[in-house]
Structure 1
């Protein structure tokens, strides 16, 4: 279980949201055309995720959660959020929940946030603090975890 990569969790969340929407729609509270706002959120989230990953590739460091990073990336979107890829995943899931328009997909979004915040990010923060020490602690103080 410790090697459930974030993109796999993201896909599992998408599948869970669609199944939950079909089997347990609970309440359709976002109607057409307002639910189409979710498409914009999906695009914004996809952009943030890709930009975060792109910067890792440019810098030549790993984007894999459980691998030790080669360097600390603090530019681009990383000036505004310490976790642009996770934030992008979260925004895309929120967008899908808005598109679907029922309550049950939002439960999955909250679950993704909790798992990411308590599991992936805490793991990464411990690893980064161990490797980069005071440099990471200073970055952590100046840049928020999410937004």
Structure 2
């Protein structure tokens, strides 16, 4: 799993969510047209993730999860959350869950994605950041929350 990149995991979870929701005929808590509230939530989540990615590209720093970090980014959206890309993926996944009817199964998939992201990807990245940037990273962590 170490080399499974977060956007790939995100897509796998979205597909699995859809397959599970309809293959087991899960009870949907949101019906049409109320499920459409998921569309702006998906958009907001993906925009948040893209904002973080675009800042990395602008600053020409490494964006790959398992490669060594090259820069401590603390500006832009990173002033408010240390992980806007993961937060964006999680928000978008919640939107997909709502769009699919917000079944208990789809909501559980969001929680599982959040748990994997927090305990696997973010923990790994934070360890690398701490090793590379030391006290500067510790200070950043004191000022800015992991999620929101």
Q: Distance in 2 between matches of 1:138 and 1:97?
A: 36
- TM-score normalized by the length of structure 1: 0.97
Regions of 4+ moved over 4 Å: none
Counterparts of 1:1-147 in structure 2 under 5 Å? 1-101=1-101, 102-147=103-148
- Kindly provide the CA deviation profile for residues 66-125 of structure 1, in whole angstroms up to 9, marking residues without a partner as x: 011110001111000000000010011000000011221111111100000000000000
Q: Which moved more, 1:38-47 or 1:17-26?
A: 17-26
Kindly tell me the number of residue pairs found equivalent between the two proteins.
147
Q: Distance in 1 between matches of 2:66 and 2:3?
A: 7
- TM-score normalized by the length of structure 2: 0.97
Which stretches in structure 2 are left out of the alignment for 5+ residues? none
Partner SS, residue 66 of structure 2: coil
Which stretches in structure 1 are left out of the alignment for 5+ residues? none
Q: Distance in 2 between matches of 1:143 and 1:41?
A: 23
Q: Distance in 1 between matches of 2:27 and 2:131?
A: 46
Question: How far is 1:22 from its partner?
Answer: 1.0
Question: How far is 1:25 from its partner?
Answer: 3.5
Contact 1:52–1:77 (CA<8 Å) still a contact in 2?
yes
